[in-house]
Amino acid sequence: MTNTTPLLTQYKEIKQRHRDSILFFRMGDFYEMFYDDAITASRILEITLTARNKEKGEDVPMCGVPYHAANTYIAKLIKKGFKVAICEQLEDSPSPLPSPQGGEGTKISPLPSGERVRVRGLVKRDVVRIITPGTIIDPLLLDSKENNFIAAVYPTPLSPPLVRGELKGGGQFHRIGLAILDISTGDFLVSESGYEDKTKNLTDELSLFMPKEVLIPKDSEEHPELLKMTENNHILVNHYDAWQFSTDSAYKTLTEHFKTQSLEGFGCKKEDLSVNAAGALISYIKETQKADLSNITSIKTYNPSDYMLMDTPTIRNLELIENIRNRERKGSLLSIIDRTETPMGARLLKQWLLQPLLSAADIQKRLDAVEAFKDDVTIRNKTRALLKDVSDIERIAGRLTLGTANARDMISLKNSIHKLPEIKNIISGINIQMIREIHSDIDTLSDIHQIIEKTIIDNPPNTITDGGIIKDGYNKSLDELRTISRQGKGFILNIEKRERERTGIESLKVRYNQVFGYYIEITKANLHLVPEDYIRKQTLTNAERFITPELKEYEEKVLGAEEKICRLEEGLFNEVRGNIIKEAKRIQATARALARLDVLCCLSDIAADYNYTKPEINKGDVIKITDGRHPVIERSITGERFVPNDTLIDNDENRLIIITGPNMAGKSTYMRQVALIALLAQIGSFVPAKEAAIGIVDRIFTRIGASDFLTDGQSTFMVEMNETANILNNATSKSLIILDEIGRGTSTFDGISIAWAVAEYIHNKLSAKTLFATHYHELTELAITLNGIKNYNIAVKEWNDEIIFLRKIIEGSADRSYGIQVARLAGLPKETIERAKEILSNLESSELNEIGEPKIAEGSKVGKEELEKQIDIFTTQASPVIKELLGIDVLNMTPLEALNKLHELKKKLQ
């Protein structure tokens, strides 16, 4: 029968309340883990697994990590999707040595309040916070350039559905409340949207924020798309108590938190589903952080319809945040344009990139501000130099309110505030609306600077419990204690000198340890010289230790003073922190103004260095670009000049551009380039072009590649069709569509038929601006029957049986595919290349020979001159067929009739 110690009993009681977390159980200078937690943690953290309590018949698995290095280990567990509950000692141990009652430590981290108590017996412990992927606040565990969002989702079905303003029969219409929070910065956003396909649209909206953790009600239905998205991106999904999402509970939580009677001042109503999500989210954060969250000072209601929408494939295919190859930041658009000087600015730039604006007036405000800084290099450089010295005051404010900020954070805040008056002064002369607004929003925070300046030393220690933080002269009691401490230490040294002279023992030493305090040590050879007033305390092998009443009296004064100093400094620090917490809202507002200023200066610096131009923004339907360039490719190529290209695309005669040409010629680069220029313009950035006029785009869709989804069990063709269906069902006449090779994953006839039908649907039903790259040369014939389609190709030059990619887009369709030449460039064996030429020649001549055998099986019976040609499928003999095509009323044909007609025409060509 086992005999569990009081310590392990205490552990089990605390663990029972936090079964879903790995419990970091503080014991002195270590965090210990027991039982299953120890087994799991030792494997992930690669630390030694030991056992405890063997002598009492209970073999308890155990492992531990030093408390001063805990962040490194916590980060590894969080990255693997675990929660970590931090259990601290809430009292000092009664003894510096391990005790059988479980009081192992002599020094502990206090509660956020700073309270500490010395007791006897088992040390009181409890969880002071729970760290989850979405609730990280420690700067060592965060990426300074990324927000760390946590989301809450509250879905509910309604019927009938409403799509594009019209009732649509069948199915259900869903409204979803969404709340997004970054507790490290205080950013708190809510929205409510309606979707027919709730999971697809929800994941698209979430992908703009990419939260690290998502809360959903425990009783909610399964969300396959949400689960897939969270699994693919290693996002923790928590099924939180459903009652926390209830209207009454959520509304009460929010009004109590913000200390308001209602939420109308934030643009929220009690019946809003976003309130259900937001209330549950605040409850969860308070439950895990054990703090009042005073850095969360407001809710911002945002409407997704205010921003250009981009689904997950589009964000990936345009490589906005990370590249497609290895999902790293390098090679992305963000990596090219991010020259921000502050962490706040870097985070805001990413938000702008994922949420381009739809308001022409708001875009113009940004463009005018960027232009002002671009034109005045002196002001731009001075502003950027000052911003470089500004710390992440947004997150410092968060740590202050959550009780985790140290004295060094205070000094960073003070040094940053010191730059604010100069920043305001430099931009004060710029008469541009957005810059005037920023100037007004920057608070110099001089009172906060003064508080820190007079209290905290310039180079404080990292921990607040060891003293040495508060300046001399700030607190009279502290100054007196410091005087006693300094003089007392000097007095101890004087005792040693005096006693050596009095006893004649030159080797006499006055020393200190945690067990006996101060003592006098005398070697055995000199014991006969020991005075009668010495009191023996310990006998060693070669010496004995003594104390005297005088020594103990001063020991109490010195050690008592040092302990009082540490506790008083801790209390004074918490007092200063409390005064600054009251001004957290002002600090946050200033931090956000500095972030906007930083992004504007960043974009102006990029525009100046990279020769970007100010785009003309309008509410029309035309995108006209002169000498446009791909912003990423032009910065990464070496040894050659990037070839710029023009673009004209609209909702009328140039609504669908079919682009043909060989692989590697630059079709995909060109199409992405157009999308990126439109996107940059709508975030308020200058663009890589000689001139650009951009009619505002409500959505960008892309259909390029499928590699990211093959592991989900979907075929390439199924992924392609799913994404194409999403485009056809959601694009509008204001959308920009990028299609690359529709219909590749199936048979040639099926592929051509689908690609043809998709092009017709976009042209006839959507009128969306579309760039459509294809190797199906049959599609170029659409330009004959549909007046909104134009053919373009990427120019290629032939030279000595080789091809040279000119990278220039020109009007007209490509007359050859150059597939075999590209294969040669890729390094296919010569024998394979020659055989491919033979097969191609047979296929182009006819599928069967004169006796009915497949010519693909024939060898080298074709002349060499014929082997060099790759002609277009539609030859000059096809003119009667073209005439017949022109007479077909395609708008009144069913898809099946169209396919049958196409097959009939193909037979005529053969």
Residue range 777-793, pLDDT digits in tens: 888 899 999 999 999 99
For 242-293, the pLDDT digits (tens) are 999 999 999 999 999 999 988 988 888 888 889 999 999 999 999 999 888 8
Give exposure, 226-259, as e/b (b: 16+ Cβ within 10 Å): bbebbeeeebbbbebbeebbbeebbbebbbebbe
Pairing mode, if any, of strands 187-195 and 645-649?
A: unpaired
Average pLDDT of the chain is 84
Place of tokens 């689908």: 754
Degrees (nearest 5) of the Cα angle 405, 407, 409?
55
Q: Is the dihedral of CA 683, 685, 689, 695 positive or negative?
A: positive
199-203, 500-504, 618-622: least confident range: 199-203
828 and 749 in one domain? Answer: no
pLDDT mean over 301-310? 90
- Check residue 112 and give its pLDDT: 39
Q: What percentage of residues in the chain have a pLDDT greater than 90?
A: 55
β-bridge mates for residue 511, sequence order:
519
Whether residue 105 has pLDDT greater than 60: no
Question: Is 354 a residue whose pLDDT tops 50?
Answer: yes
Give a yes or no: residue 329 inside a domain: no
CATH number, domain of 729, equals 3.40.50.300
- pLDDT > 70 in the chain, percent: 83
pLDDT tens digits, one per residue of 656-667:
999 998 877 788
What angle (nearest 5°) sits at the alpha carbon of residue 848, between those of residues 843 and 854? Answer: 85
Reduce the DSSP state of residue 291 to 3 states and report it: coil
Going by pLDDT thresholds of 50, 70 and 90, the confidence category of residue 842 is low
Residues in the chain: 910
AA identity, residue 16: Q
- Residue 669 confidence class, pLDDT cut points 50, 70, 90: very high
Q: Do 539 and 633 sit in the same domain of this protein?
A: no
> Does 328 reside within a domain?
no
Ranges of H-type helices in 711-747: 716-730
Q: Are residues 786 and 752 in the same domain?
A: yes
Q: Are residues 568 and 480 in the same domain?
A: yes
Sign of CA dihedral 120, 121, 122, 124: negative
**CA geometry: angle at 229 spanning 223 and 233, to 5°?**
145
Task: Report d(CA 391, CA 409) in Å as an integer.
Answer: 9
- Mean pLDDT over 808-822 rounds to 74
Neighbouring residues of 161: CB distance < 8 A, sequence distance ≥ 6: 167, 168, 170, 171, 172, 173, 196
Q: How far is CA 421 from the centre of its chain?
A: 32
Provide CB contacts within 8 A for 607, sequence distance 6+. Answer: 370, 374, 613, 614, 685, 686
Q: Is 554 among the domain residues? A: yes
User: Both 294 and 163 in a single domain?
Assistant: yes
- pLDDT higher than 80, residue 160: no
The answer to whether the CB of 514 falls within 8 A of the CB of 96 is yes
Closest CA to 147 of 381, 420, 353, 401: 353
Per DSSP, 149 falls in state: -
Q: What is the pLDDT of residue 561?
A: 84
The residues, ordered by sequence, that sit 6+ positions from 3 with a Cβ below 8 Å of its Cβ are 56, 57, 58
Number of C-beta neighbours around residue 714 at 10 A: 14
51 contacts 61 by C-beta, under 8 angstroms: yes
The answer to whether residue 161 scores a pLDDT higher than 50 is: no
Query: What is the pLDDT confidence band of residue 340, given thresholds at 50, 70 and 90?
Result: very high
Let me know if residue 332 belongs to a domain.
Answer: no
State the CATH number of the domain containing residue 494. Answer: 1.10.1420.10
Do 570 and 589 reside in the same domain of the chain? no
Question: Does residue 522 contact residue 508 with C-beta atoms inside 8 Å?
Answer: yes
Domain check: are 249 and 389 in the same one? Answer: no
Instruction: Please say if the pLDDT value at position 870 is more than 50.
Output: no
Same-domain check for residues 864 and 909: no
Residues paired with 771 in a beta bridge: 657, 738
Averaged pLDDT, 102-122: 44
The residue ranking higher by pLDDT, 310 or 775, is 310
Asked whether residue 45 falls in the same domain as residue 117, the answer is: yes
Q: What is the mean pLDDT of residues 48-75?
A: 85
Domain CATH code at residue 236 = 3.30.420.110
Domain assignment of residue 354, yes or no: yes
Q: State the DSSP code for 849.
A: -
- Between residues 830 and 706, the one the model is more confident about: 830
Q: What is the CATH number of the domain that holds 119?
A: 3.40.1170.10
Pick the closest to residue 130 from 21, 41, 239, 215 (CA basis).
21
Tell me the three state secondary structure of residue 741: coil
Domains held by the chain: number: 7
DSSP string, 470-498: BPTTS-HHHHHHHHHHHHHHHHHHHHHHH
Inside any domain, residue 745:
yes
Residue 523 resides in a domain? yes
Rounded to the nearest angstrom, the gap between the alpha carbon of residue 300 and the centroid of all alpha carbons in its chain is 19
**Residue among 887, 875, 837, 879 nearest 859 (CA):** 837
pLDDT computed for residue 272 by the predictor: 87
- For 37, the 3-state DSSP assignment is helix
Q: Is the pLDDT of residue 26 over 60?
A: yes
8 Å CB contact between 699 and 856? no
**Exposure pattern of 16-51 as b/e (b: 16+ CB <10 Å)?**
eebeebbbbbbbbebbbbbeebbebbbeebeeeeee
- 14 and 85 inside one domain: yes
Token reading at 130:
């729970």
Using alpha carbons only, what angle is made at residue 9 by residues 7 and 14, rounded to the nearest 5 degrees? 95
Confidence (pLDDT) at 389: 97
Write down the pLDDT at residue 618.
94
Largest pairwise CA distance in the chain: 130
Instruction: Tell me 98's DSSP state.
Output: -
Residue 245 near residue 280 (C-beta atoms within 8 A): yes
pLDDT in tens, 406-427: 999 999 999 999 999 999 999 9
Q: Between 881 and 692, name the one with better pLDDT.
A: 692
Question: Residue type for 175, please?
Answer: R
Structural domain boundaries, residue 742: 616-817
15 lies in some domain: yes
Q: What pLDDT is stored for residue 276 in this prediction? A: 94
Question: Looking at the structure, do residues 356 and 433 belong to the same domain, yes or no?
Answer: yes
Residue 10 and residue 81 in one domain: yes
